[in-house]
Structure 1
C-alpha cells in the first residue's frame, strides 16, 4: 500500500469539525507528559459515565475473566481501565505529533536482539501483540528503532484515515501498511524477511476460528497465526508494551520467538496463544482493551453474554 498522501478533497466542509477537533488535540498534547497523564485520567472518568454501552461490555468481560475477584475489586479495575483508555487518547496524539526525540525518551526496550537475529537470517517475523490501550504509542516507539509493517484497515472518514496513516508512517518510512484482508501481500512480506505486527486476541467471527479457553471461557480464536507462520516461513515473536507508573514512560518487551510453532495442530496452537494472552493481560489487566466484545461468537446453543446493540438510524 502506498504512503498517505494529502488531497484537497480533505478540505471539504464535511471534514471541518474533525480538523478543528484534531487541532485542539494537537495543542493540548504539547503539554508536559505528566499533565497529559492526569488529563487522560479525567477524560477516562467522563468516558466511564457517558459510554454506558462500552462500560457494560467491559464489566461483563471482567466478570467472565475474573470470577474470583469480588464485585468491588472488579469495579475498581473497571474504573482504572477507563482511566487507561482516556490516557490512550493523548498517547495516540503523542505518537502522531510529538517530535521523534521527545517521544523516544519515553521508551525502554528489551529483547530487540530477537528481531535482529531473525533479520540476520532473512526470516520473516509475525510480531504477535495484543490490544492494550498503549497499542498506538507502543507501535510508534518500536517503529523508531526497527522496521515493522502493520496490519491496517481503512477508516471510513477519509480525513481521519489520512492523519492516522501519516502519523504512523512518519516514524519509519520503510514500513508498509498491509490491508488486513490482503493475505498475499502479507505472505510476500514475511517471505522477504520483513516483520509484521499482528494481534490474534479479538473475536473475528466463526470463520477460520476454533473454540479454546480464554480465562476459562470458550473463545473463538483465529488460527491465522499458525497459517501466517507456516506459509510465510516466519518466526512468531511475542511483543508486549506497558505504561510505567509515575510518568516513567513505557516498557517495550520483545520476547523470545515461540519454539515448535506452528505444531501442525491448529487447536493446540490457538490454546497456546490464548495461554500467552492470559499471562500477558494478568500482568496489567487495567491496560487491556476490555471494551471489545471478545466473547460475542459463542459455541452452538450458548447465548451471547452482551446485550443487543441499539440499531442506528440510517441517514436519509
Structure 2
C-alpha cells in the first residue's frame, strides 16, 4: 500500500510550478511539444545518471548480441522517448479529445468490441512502454474500460491524476484492490492491466524476459482462471508525433493448468512487441532487480 506523506512547502510549490508548465505546454501544437520532449530527453540522458545506469544494464543484458554502438543508440533513443513521455502525460490530464483524436491509428479494435458486446470480462493486457499513459488515454476515447493504478506518493500529483482517471476511465482500481478487479471481470467489464514490472517476489515466479530470468507476477493467469475473463493484448508504438494502437485477438488456450507456461507465454508476447521498437520500452525500470537464489545482483 502506498502511503501519502505530507510534503514540504518547497516541494509543493515546485510541483505546482511544474504542473502549470505542463498545462501551458499542452496548448502548443503537438509537433512542437514532441520537439520539447526530445530536448528534455537529451537533458535526462546527461543528468539522470542512476536511471542511465539501469537502462544501460538492462539493454546490455537483453541485447547482448547487438554491437556496442547499437546498444548505445537504443539508450540514447530510449531517453529521448522518456523525455517525450513527460510531454505526453500532461496531455493525458488536460488535452482535449478534439486535439488528441487524430493522433492515433487503431488496429484490431474489433476484437475488443466483439468481446464487450458479448459482455465478457476482459483483461486488456499491456506493458510498460514509455508512451503507456497516452496510449490508454487515446484508446479510452474509443472503448470503455477500467484501469488499475498505483497511487502516487506526492498528494498533489495524485489528486491531478485521480481527477483525470475519474474523467477518462469508467473506473480506477488501486493495484492492491484485487477483489474489486476480480468482481469487475466477473461482471463482464474490461480491465487494463500491465504485469511486466518487478514488484518483488510475492505472487511472482521467475520467467525468461529476453533470455534473463525476471521476477514476474502470475496475476494474468490467476485472474483469468478465477474470473473466466478473456485476455486481449493491447500494445502501442509512437511513430513521429502519431501513435499506433494494436489490439490482438483474445489469447487461445489460456490460462492452462501450468502457471509457469502461462507466465512464460505472456513475457514472450511482450518481448516480441518490445523488439519492434526497443527504445520505447521502459528500460529505466529495474526489471531484473530480484534474482534467483545464489545469483548476484545486476544493478
Partner of 1:39: 36
Looking at structure 2, the residues matched to 17 and 37 of structure 1 have their Cα atoms a distance apart, in angstroms, of: 23
Partner of 1:6: none
Partner of 2:3: none
Match of 2:221 among 212, 222, 226: 226
Which range moved further: 296-305 or 146-155?
A: 146-155
Q: CA offset at residue 170 of structure 1?
A: 2.2
Looking at structure 1, the residues matched to 25 and 193 of structure 2 have their Cα atoms a distance apart, in angstroms, of: 31
Q: CA offset at residue 167 of structure 1?
A: 2.2
Match of 1:186 among 181, 185, 189: 181
Partner of 2:263: 270
| Contact 2:121/2:184, CA 8 A, preserved across alignment | yes
Please list every run of at least 4 consecutive aligned residues from structure 1 whose deviation after the TM superposition is greater than 2 angstroms: 12-17, 167-172
Looking at structure 2, the residues matched to 272 and 281 of structure 1 have their Cα atoms a distance apart, in angstroms, of: 14
DSSP 3-state at the match of 1:154: coil
Say how many residue pairs are matched: 293
Structure 1: runs of 5 or more not aligned: 1-8, 307-316
Match of 1:210 among 175, 180, 205: 205
Looking at structure 1, the residues matched to 150 and 289 of structure 2 have their Cα atoms a distance apart, in angstroms, of: 21
Structure 2: runs of 5 or more not aligned: 1-5
**How does the TM-score come out when normalised to structure 1?**
0.90
Match of 2:92 among 91, 95, 109: 95
Looking at structure 1, the residues matched to 139 and 24 of structure 2 have their Cα atoms a distance apart, in angstroms, of: 25
Q: Render the CA deviation track for 1:20-42: whole Å, top value 9, x for unaligned.
A: 22111211221111111111111
Which range moved further: 190-199 or 18-27?
A: 18-27
Partner of 1:313: none
Q: CA offset at residue 221 of structure 1?
A: 1.4
Match of 2:144 among 134, 144, 147: 147
| Contact 1:127/1:238, CA 8 A, preserved across alignment | yes
| Contact 1:211/1:299, CA 8 A, preserved across alignment | yes
